Each structure stands twice: as structure tokens, then as C-alpha cells.
């Protein structure tokens, strides 16, 4: 992270921490441990843990821990973290402010899984501020797992979930600029590095996960990525652990990445080794010079790991002792 972006990140973290009512001690611990963190950490089984993709994972995890302190479950931690990032209009790849498709529509994808293995998902949703909350409602209140497009939007209206214009002045201007050339080429770690995947374990050992995104910028209208696809962008087996993905969804879907990571953990791999194997599966099957994918995994015993095709992928790991931003291994 460059000095300027790091400074603004830390300022934002301090402001968010204050809003969340985090103690100065917790904030200081997070700030102090933002660098030089080990790549793999083990926490005490039963100790609450939260793991989220990219820089904004620190703030998301802080929101998750606040939900936990207020009596929430692992699923509440996930929803709280996701909502914070979805509502941040400065993020260009999640919720409001997300970059639109090539026709100028912001379309959102999200899913979640809870500690019972239950799952909910929404995809190709427009005008909804909190798609992960909508996915949770699908999981908890309907006999279905996945709602798409107009049907999901109709359900959101019935529930009274906030409706908003997701295209902001900034994202509209970026789209208008892009339209001058309409050049579509994924750019590693640049185009979409804000999608958030979250994994959590609460004090009672309950595990949950979530993933929420506006997907690839300037994608074809109607394109749905890996993020709302259970087993691809997210998978949680309450007995084994969870995994989530970020990056080019097409590569993740073709290898059913998050399910693969969890199954590898079931066979005895550590979260780190499982993420590495899932990344190598992609690297073995397709050219990856222009393609980034990163996986995160959290085991039931509280061990965390992350690995990506290319450098530049990082993630936030938070326990009651504080949070750290970790540069994932790669290659």
C-alpha cells in the first residue's frame, strides 16, 4: 500500500472505529499490527475469529465483532461486516458506488451460509442497498436458496429493504470515460479489488460466511460471477470450515473453488495448503498472466490461510486480540 492510500486507509479505519464505538485499545492494536503480520495464524479453538478479503476487511471485521459483542452469532458478524462495506459509496466493487456493466447498470451478487449449512443467494439484483441481507432473508424466510433479478428485487420491496440508486456520480463518470474506448480487459488487482468475502466463527464455534459484490466492471449485461454461486464464491461446512474467493469469477466457477478448498481441508490439508492447491488448479488449467484469483479459508479449529495467483491480494484477520492485514502468498 502506498503511503497516501495507507494514510487514508488508516484515517478511515480510525473514523470507522469511532463510529463503531471500538475502544482506543482495539483500534491501536489493529493499527499497530497492520504490517509485519505472519501469513498464517492459528487462534484458540472457540475463540471468535473473522477473516475478510482486502483492506476493507479490517473495517468489516470490526463491525462483525461489534455485532458479536451485542450478542450476535457468526451469521450476524457476517451480515454486519457486509453491510458496512455495501453502504460505502467510495468502494467501486461492492454495493452502492460499484462500477456498472457495459450498459451502465449496477448489478449486485451476494450469498451467505450459516452454521447449520443453510444457504441463501441473490444475483443480478439492481437498486438494493444490502444484497447480503436479502440473501439472508432468502435463506431464512423462503423455501429457496437463490433468487435472481426482478424476482429478488420484488422480494426486497416486499421486505422493505432499502432501495437506492446504486450508480453514483463517480461510478457514472468512470463508466462514461470507459465508454470512450469500451476496451474490456481485466486488470489484475485493479479492476475489481474490492469484492468482499467474509468468514466468521463466533465464541460458540459456530461458523458462517458471506460474499457480496457488484462483480466485474463493464461486464456484459446479465453476467453473473462466482460470488453468489455456492461452492464457487463461498462455501461453509460447519464441521470443517469455510472458504471464499475474490478475483475473476469465471475461473473460480470453472473449478468450483470454494467447495474445493473446503473439501481439501476435509481431507486434512491446512487452510493455507488448501488455498494453494485450489489456486494451482486454476493455474494448471488456463493461462493466468492476466487473471487474478485469491482464496481465503478458515478451519473449524481456527486456523486461517490465504493464497492468490498473483501478488497484491491481502486480507484481514481479526480476533478479540485485534486485527491484522495480511499479504497473501501467491504463485
Active site residues: 195
Could you give the CA distance from residue 37 to residue 120 in angstroms, rounded to a whole number?
Answer: 34
Choices 80-88, 148-156, 177-185, 210-218 (CB under 6 A): range interacting with ligand SD4? 210-218
Measure the CA–CA gap between 224 and 205, rounded to whole angstroms.
32
**Does residue 121 touch ligand SD4 according to CB under 6 A?**
no
Does 85 bind ligand SD4 (CB under 6 A)? Our answer is: no
Which listed range, 69-77, 220-228, 234-242, 304-312, lies at the site for ligand SD4 (CB under 6 A)? 220-228
Considering the complex, what minimum distance in angstroms separates the CB of residue 191 from ligand SD4? 8
- Exactly one of 29, 52, 212, 213 binds ligand SD4 (CB under 6 A); that residue is 213
> Does the footprint of ligand SD4 cover residue 249 (CB under 6 A)?
yes
> What CA–CA distance (Å, rounded) separates 12 from 166?
22
What's the rounded Cα separation, in Å, for the pair 252 and 216?
A: 13
Give me the DSSP letters along 288-307.
-TT--EEEEEEETTSEEEEE
d(CA 93, CA 165): 15
The DSSP result for 66-100, as a single string, is HHHHTT--HHHHHHHHHHHHHT-TT-SSSSTT---
Q: Which stretch binds ligand SD4 (CB under 6 A): 35-43, 82-90, 243-251, 278-286?
A: 243-251
Q: Does 100 bind ligand SD4 (CB under 6 A)?
A: no
Q: Is residue 225 at the binding interface for ligand SD4, with CB under 6 A as the rule?
A: yes
Closer CB to ligand SD4, residue 120 or residue 225? 225
The span of 29-37, 66-74, 179-187, 212-220 binding ligand SD4 (CB under 6 A) equals 212-220
Q: Which is nearer to ligand SD4, 68 or 216 (CB)?
A: 216
Verify binding: residue 115, ligand SD4, rule CB under 6 A: no
Query: Per 3-state DSSP, what percentage of the chain is helix, strand, and coil (rounded to 5)?
Result: 35, 25, 40
Site for ligand SD4 contains 226 (CB under 6 A): yes
> Smallest distance from the beta carbon of 89 to ligand SD4, in angstroms?
18
- If DSSP codes are grouped into helix, strand and coil, which group holds residue 243? strand
Q: Per DSSP, which regions of 163-255 are E strands?
A: 196-201, 207-213, 234-237, 241-247
Q: Does residue 231 interact with ligand SD4 by CB under 6 A?
A: no
Per CB under 6 A, contacts with ligand SD4 among 166-205 are 192-193, 195
Q: How far is the CB of 249 from ligand SD4 (least distance, A)?
A: 2
Beta strand residue intervals within 135-292, DSSP E: 146-148, 196-201, 207-213, 234-237, 241-247
Which positions lie near ligand SD4, rule CB under 6 A?
93, 192-193, 195, 213, 215-216, 225-227, 246-249
Amino acid at each position: 500500500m502506498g503511503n497516501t492510500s495507507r494514510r487514508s486507509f488508516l484515517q478511515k479505519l480510525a473514523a470507522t472505529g469511532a463510529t463503531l464505538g471500538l475502544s482506543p485499545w482495539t483500534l491501536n492494536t489493529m493499527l499497530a499490527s497492520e504490517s509485519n503480520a505472519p501469513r498464517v495464524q492459528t487462534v484458540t479453538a472457540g475463540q471468535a475469529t473473522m477473516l475478510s478479503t482486502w483492506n476493507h476487511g479490517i473495517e468489516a471485521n470490526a463491525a462483525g465483532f461489534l455485532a458479536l459483542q451485542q450478542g450476535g452469532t457468526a451469521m450476524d458478524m457476517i451480515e454486519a461486516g457486509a453491510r458496512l462495506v455495501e453502504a460505502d459509496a467510495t468502494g467501486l466493487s461492492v454495493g452502492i458506488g460499484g462500477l456498472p456493466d457495459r450498459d451502465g447498470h449496477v448489478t449486485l451478487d451476494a450469498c451467505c451460509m450459516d452454521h447449520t449449512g443453510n444457504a441463501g443467494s441473490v444475483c443480478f439484483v439492481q437498486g438494493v442497498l444490502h444484497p447480503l441481507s436479502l440473501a439472508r432473508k432468502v435463506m431464512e424466510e423462503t423455501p429457496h436458496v437463490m433468487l435472481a433479478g426482478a424476482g429478488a428485487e420484488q422480494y426486497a420491496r416486499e421486505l422493505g429493504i432499502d432501495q437506492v440508486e446504486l450508480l453514483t456520480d463517480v461510478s457514472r463518470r468512470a463508466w462514461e470515460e470507459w465508454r470512450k474506448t469500451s476496451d474490456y480487459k481485466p486488470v489484475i488487482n485493479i479492476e475489481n479489488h474490492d469484492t468482499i468475502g467474509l468468514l466468521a466463527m463466533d465464541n460458540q464455534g459456530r461458523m458462517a460466511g458471506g460474499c457480496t459484490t457488484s462483480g466485474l466492471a463493464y461486464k456484459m449485461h446479465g453476467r453473473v460471477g462466482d460470488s453468489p454461486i455456492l461452492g464457487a464464491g463461498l462455501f461453509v461446512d460447519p464441521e470443517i470450515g469455510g472458504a471464499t474467493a475474490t478475483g475473476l469469477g469465471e475461473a473460480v466457477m470453472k473449478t468450483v473453488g470454494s467447495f474445493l478448498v473446503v473439501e481439501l481441508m476435509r481431507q486434512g490439508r491446512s487452510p493455507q495448503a488448501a488455498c494453494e492447491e485450489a489456486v494451482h488448479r486454476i493455474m494448471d488449467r488456463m493461462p493466468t498472466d492476466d487473471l487474478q484469483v485469491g482464496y481465503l479459508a478458515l478451519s473449524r479449529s481456527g486456523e486461517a490461510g490465504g493464497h492468490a495467483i498473483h501478488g497484491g491480494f491481502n486480507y484481514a484477520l481479526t480476533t478479540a486480540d485485534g486485527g491484522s492485514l495480511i499479504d497473501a502468498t501467491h504463485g
